[in-house]
A and B are shown apart, each in its own frame.
Chain A
Amino acid sequence: MPINYYIFLSIALFCIGIVGVLTRRNAIIIFMCIELMLNAVNLMFVAFSKMHHLAAGSGASTVGTDGQLFVFFIMVVAAAEVSVGLAIIVMMYRNIHSVDVNFLNRLKH
């Protein structure tokens, strides 16, 4: 399958993520959109990694593997982020009984 499809899919996912972050006010949905963007990037990594691996031929077995390594890192970081982020959202709900980010502008005052 040509690489273009992966790229278009990845861009589409990333843009959905951005638009979601920009337009939604619900913290959980924003959070999900961020995950979406991270996964779009992951998809891109994996696709390019595979492409380079195929292009290098069977002799060079390690070519392109670092892209896949990064994916794992991102997944680990994302998992950590989810745990911290969800904890914050829970605390936020406990304090202001809402997960609307527009209420979170107290630092301004």
Chain B
Amino acid sequence: MKNALQLAYLVPLFPLLGFLINGLGRKSLSKGAIGVIGSGMILASFVVSLLMFLQVKEGNTIVAEYFNFIHVGKLSIPFAFQVDQLSSIFLLIITGVGFLIHVYSTSYMHEEPTEHFGRYFAYLNLFVFSMLLLVMGANYVIMFIGWEGVGLCSYLLIGFWFKKTAYNKAANKAFIMNRIGDLAFLIAIFWIIGKVGSVGYADVLQFAGDGSFSNKDLMGITLLLFIGATGKSAQIPLYTWLPDAMAGPTPVSALIHAATMVTAGIYMIARSNIMYTLSPVTLNIIAWIGLATALVAATIAMKQNDIKKVLAYSTVSQLGYMFLALGTGSYVAAVFHVMTHAFFKALLFLGSGSVIHAMGGEQDIRKMGGLSKYMKITNLTFLIGCIAIAGIPGFSGFFSKDEILAGAFGKSPVLYGIGLFTALLTAFYMFRLYATTFRGNFRGTHDQEHHLHESPAAITVPLLVLAVLSIVGGYIGIPEYMAHGAHRLSEFLEPVFASSNAIMEKHEISHSTEWMLTGVSSVLIIIVVLAAWKRFSSKPDLQDAEGFGKVLENKWYVDEIYDKVIVQPISRFAGFLTNVVERLVIDGVVNGVGRLVNYSGRQLRLLQSGQVGSYVLLMVFGILVVFVIQFFLRK
């Protein structure tokens, strides 16, 4: 299969086809057909991605240009796909996890009417298509198309149950907050065009690698790109949309708001790594913002009682971790964590979906408890997910998180300290969630208890597959100090980050230090996990939090602060515009023009007296004026 890379265009084409078929045929196709088409298209993409991955593994990469997308003056932007080490990893994650989630959705969404079922799969396929465009594009413009596409699909799917106003508001919030970031991204693209005259990764990164950017340009561009990333990847200050995005169906949360879309920002920065490496100030900002997000989101997650909200904040927190990795220059660790996070967070979300399904739509963990007796597979897989995200040794999360923390330690022990503290918080709230949900006694109503059941195979099989991936996924990145040359991901990604690695200052830490750090963090995490397990199995906190806990439960009142500081002034300003500017200025001008015409018409009408003499008089005056102009004023 030498030519597998030539098939790159098929990867996004399949989901696009699926979108068209399901979207147009949503009223005529049966649910079975819709499910098969929706999932099958993603499976086809996955197979092609896998074939391409095998090619890339042998060192072949490709930049395939299909047609000229924009050609203006000297600027030419081809519609081109780039399949290299970085994008092929993302392709596998998107299509692989995406396929599992599609299969899961066929069962999870089965109670929807056929038309909406079709709409759901059409949106989901469109999302995968956009996401594939985002990672496959060979220049920033194609990436931006995908970037906007996923934003749109995210909006559509968050507001999937559009009859509820609150859900629509959540969708709007997500869309608008993303737009803020998108604007920065767009400005960065224009800046790049202005300086480089091209948007292709190859040209831009070459240009940056040669040191042709001035420091100011580089810092501006990288910061703007990063602001774009904070929008899409839910970082401070634009993270508040992600928890609200849980209004969408649970598989959507798993696919878009955990596994794929929110990692787009990490992909973008990893793709532009050389620019960031050359701009240490931006890297520092990224590291601190990432860490702050990780910490803040983790503290909020400690006190949430909605099963999906906990997972949402944990996603924000893990994304913060990835940015910490980017900020410390460990790009590989960031991509590694994207991958493991995609496995275990998709697993956790799908698990929570299975729980919600069994509980008949109940999402409050205070009303659950003891579910392990009723849902064996969900229980087991959810536990694996929790272990993986907590970072207990041997599971995937351990390897990626450990690598990030090691990178942070190399840069500054303060980063490491806060990072480790956040990891402990993560372990704590995840096991608080697990123990409250699955251990102890059932606290729901009698009807709910009667209804409890394990989910069908379409739900449990993806859970099992993801659980296996959550366990073994970490072994492609065994750190150097444990086994020499076993970090296969790092080797694989080497070409993408080569130029960055060459100029990055290395903070070598000795193997013994690393062993010690890992040992300390592992022991602490296990202690925290056991403590949380014990505490919340027997005595879950069912009361509303008080004191500081109340602040956390209310998410540090960030939403309220944003509302007061930004939303309300803007809406007051909008009110001023409608009531004063619109009414007085705009209406005034429009009505004024009307009144002027009316008035002048009435005045001019007086000339039309019907008196022949006055007409003739005017005519004579007119002729006289013409004569005067002719004789005296000409020349």
The answer to whether A and B interact is yes
Q: Which residues of A are in contact with B by a Cβ distance under 8 Å?
A: 18, 21-23, 25, 30, 101-102, 104-109
Interface contact B609-A102, CB-CB below 8 Å: no
Interface contact B610-A107, CB-CB below 8 Å: yes
Interface contact B611-A102, CB-CB below 8 Å: yes
Q: Tell which of A18, A104, A109 touches B612, judged by Cβ atoms closer than 8 Å.
A: A104
The CA-CA distance from A21 to B620 in the complex, in Å, is 10
The CA-CA distance from A109 to B609 in the complex, in Å, is 10
- Interface on chain B toward A: helix, strand, loop, or mixed SS? helix
Closest to B614 in A: A22
What are 6 A-B pairs at a CB distance below 8 A? A18-B620, A22-B613, A101-B613, A104-B610, A106-B610, A108-B609
The CA-CA distance from A63 to B616 in the complex, in Å, is 36
B165 interfacial contact with A, CB 8 Å: no
Enumerate chain B residues within 8 angstroms of A106, measured Cβ to Cβ: 610
Enumerate chain B residues within 8 angstroms of A108, measured Cβ to Cβ: 608-610
A41: shortest Cβ distance to chain B, in Å? 13
The CA-CA distance from A107 to B608 in the complex, in Å, is 10
B617 interfacial contact with A, CB 8 Å: yes
Counting residue pairs across A and B whose Cβ atoms lie within 8 Å, the total is 28
Q: Tell which of B609, B610, B620 touches A22, judged by Cβ atoms closer than 8 Å.
A: B620
The CA-CA distance from A102 to B610 in the complex, in Å, is 8
B618: shortest Cβ distance to chain A, in Å? 10
Interface contact B617-A22, CB-CB below 8 Å: yes
Closest to A19 in B: B620
Closest to B623 in A: A18
A5: shortest Cβ distance to chain B, in Å? 22
Interface contact B613-A102, CB-CB below 8 Å: yes
A14: shortest Cβ distance to chain B, in Å? 11
Enumerate chain A residues within 8 angstroms of B617, measured Cβ to Cβ: 22
A68: shortest Cβ distance to chain B, in Å? 25
The CA-CA distance from A30 to B620 in the complex, in Å, is 15
Enumerate chain B residues within 8 angstroms of A25, measured Cβ to Cβ: 613
Enumerate chain A residues within 8 angstroms of B611, measured Cβ to Cβ: 101-102, 105
Give me 15 other A-B pairs in contact (C-beta within 8 A), A102-B611, A104-B610, A108-B608 excluded.
A18-B620, A21-B613, A21-B616, A22-B616, A22-B620, A23-B613, A25-B613, A101-B613, A102-B612, A104-B612, A105-B609, A105-B612, A108-B609, A108-B610, A109-B610
B 271-328 contacts with A by CB, 8 A: none
Closest to A24 in B: B613
The CA-CA distance from A104 to B287 in the complex, in Å, is 92
The CA-CA distance from A102 to B613 in the complex, in Å, is 8
Closest to A107 in B: B610
Closest to A105 in B: B610
A43: shortest Cβ distance to chain B, in Å? 19
Enumerate chain B residues within 8 angstroms of A107, measured Cβ to Cβ: 610
Enumerate chain A residues within 8 angstroms of B620, measured Cβ to Cβ: 18, 22
B604: shortest Cβ distance to chain A, in Å? 14
A44: shortest Cβ distance to chain B, in Å? 15
Enumerate chain A residues within 8 angstroms of B610, measured Cβ to Cβ: 104-109
- Per-position contact with A for B586-617: 1 when CB-CB < 8 Å, else 0? 00000000000000000000001111110011
